[in-house]
Chains A and B, each alone.
Chain A
Amino acid sequence: MNPAFSVIVLTTLIGVGQGLFLALFSSQAFTIVKVLPNQPNSYYALGGVIALCFLAGGLVASFFHLGHPERAWRAASQWRTSWLSREVIALPAVMGLVFLYALVNGVGLDANLYGWGLPDQVALTVGALGVAATLTLFLCTGMIYGAIKFLQEWATPLTVVNYFLLGSASGFTFAAAYAAFAAPKMVAFYAGWAITLTVVAFFTRAAALFRNARIKRVATVQTAIGVRHAKVQQRSMGFMGGSYNTREYFHGRTVLFLKSVKWIFLVLVFAVPVALLWAGWAGGHPAALMAAFAVQYVGLLFERWFFFAQASHPQNLYYQVVG
């Protein structure tokens, strides 16, 4: 496929936003059972606003992918069959709940809802709904790609797993950088989980790379035109100036370029951020944590570009030779 920059930015930005929200919620949940030190509610409110900004940035980017953004509201109608439609519903739902979470924390709204006598029960209730919505959104985003069985590189549960783990890892990395300034005592929690998620994501992403390097193609040029012969070659695709079919489904780069992007993202998403997170956590350098996030985000742009470019569409069997 030919990677669309709008979709790359959309999926990476909402991944950070969702991961950051998961980081904030989990740390707040841990503080009420005294596993982590208490933080002022404003800390979660500001964090929630930042997460909202990432999500909104992704939403804005998504509009650049549409031919008719003014009709985008229609995309919420087919949620019964379309994962894209479900994502269109899930993303605003996550944004609404993250906004409510930030608002509840910001105004300090609290009530003894469950009779536990613990603080932040309202915030955590809204947050729990937000977590459910966030996980749903990860599922929807992953399934948009995982549900197309013709794109064999994507049609695997690893696609959903990787969207979840990579988004969460980048969000926790951002949370570590945020905490370095706003709540230094929380850095260990975020950085520890960021390293864990990044390492696990490395294994699942590597598993996807391993699988995709060994794909057995379902469709061949023989089944494409229905002629059974060992040697079938295209001589002409029927036109010379290119078409939507030659632009949308081919990345137009060399194999070497693709391979180098793979190694770049493996270094930038996994190796460098883990080292920087470790340095920032153990050495107490906020700059290292910020650099960890910046490097990982840039790496994720490469990762997502590779994710799209690597997928080989069966329609390409019909567009092998100009003439």
Chain B
Amino acid sequence: MTQLALVIDLNVCVGCHACVTSCKQWNTSGQAGPLFDDNPYAQDPTGTFFNRVQTFEVGEFPCTETIHFPKSCLHCEEAPCVPVCPTGASYKRAEDGIVLVDYDKCIGCKYCSWACPYGAREFDENQKVMKKCTLCVDRIYDMTIPAERRKPACVIACPTNARLFGDVHDPESEVSIAIREAGGYPLMPEWGTKPANHYLPRRKTKLRIHEDELVRADNPLRKEDIRHETGKDVTLDDWLM
């Protein structure tokens, strides 16, 4: 069983939105037709995006840390949006675990978006169907694209390499190793949705040094101190010490 997913390294993400724009560019140019864009160059622009970068602040000034947080569909293994769909338009592919919407079957009732705790689905007001991240399914299997570029548009666009793409069910894949060795975690695990996408936490390289390691408390010379009385007779040792 394959489960394709993204692993996003929050330690590396600089919040540049390159993944947002490249995602929009690729997915608005595909066979499914353009993504909704209302007033793109006027007041109150709004539109459908599959990917957003948000910014959070952790702590209180002056001890704060800024976290740039890219958010897209997590392609949950127990996707709650799929069983609620009344038409079967929302489905999870058995072969690679990608959660997709069949735009020709969707009736636009929005029930799936209510059933997603992450807000990963965005309605297309022009086509009147629900849309979401496809993991660039029209790109990753396209044999006309060079093999090394058969990855989601956001992964290729990321200038800091914060986004990894691969099969999280293969224990030796790049993403599985990253999750395992760099503390990858899923979002809102309390809902039991088992998100396939994982996030790598902010990491700081620190070395813990105990005082004992700086000041030698257990001098072996003292341990092996043999300056004890060996006899009543005066020996050579007494003259040496």
Contacts and interface: CB of A to CB of B under 8 A. Distances in A.
A associates with B: yes
Interface of A: 1, 65-69, 71-72, 74-78, 81-85, 88, 144, 147-151, 218-219, 221, 223-227, 229, 231-239, 241-245, 248-249, 313-316, 318-319
A179 to B, nearest CB: 37
Contacts of A75: 86-87, 107, 109
B116 interface: yes
B188 A68 contact: no
Contacts of B58: 227, 229, 231-232
B20 A314 contact: no
A150 B112 CA distance: 12
Contacts of B80: 148-150
Contacts of B67: 225, 227
A293 B149 CA distance: 65
B171 interface: no
Contacts of B55: 234-236, 238
A132 to B, nearest CB: 22
Contacts of B189: 223
Interface in B185-209: 185-191, 199, 201-202
Interface string B26-43: 000000000000010000
Interface of B: 17, 20, 39, 44-49, 52-60, 66-67, 69, 71, 80, 82-89, 105-111, 113-119, 121-123, 125, 127-129, 185-191, 199, 201-202
Nearest to A79: B86
Contact of A68 (B83, B106, B113, B118): B106
Contacts of B188: 219, 223-224, 314
Contacts of A69: 107
Given A83-B84, A229-B59, A243 B46 contact: yes
Contacts of B49: 239, 243
B87 A78 contact: yes
27 contacts: A68-B106, A68-B107, A77-B87, A81-B83, A148-B80, A148-B114, A148-B115, A219-B188, A225-B56, A226-B186, A226-B199, A227-B58, A232-B58, A233-B57, A234-B57, A235-B57, A236-B54, A238-B52, A238-B53, A241-B44, A243-B49, A244-B48, A244-B122, A315-B118, A318-B71, A318-B119, A319-B119
Contacts of A313: 114, 117, 119
A314 B117 contact: yes
A238 B107 contact: no
A224 B193 CA distance: 13
Nearest to A1: B114
Among A1, A226, A236, A318: residue with most chain B CB under 10 A: A226
Contacts of A237: 52, 54
A78 B105 CA distance: 12
Nearest to B54: A238
Contacts of B106: 67-68, 71
A65 B118 contact: no
A213 to B, nearest CB: 22
A224 B127 CA distance: 30
B46 A248 contact: no
Given A78-B86, A238-B52, A219 B190 contact: yes
A314 B129 CA distance: 22
Nearest to B105: A74
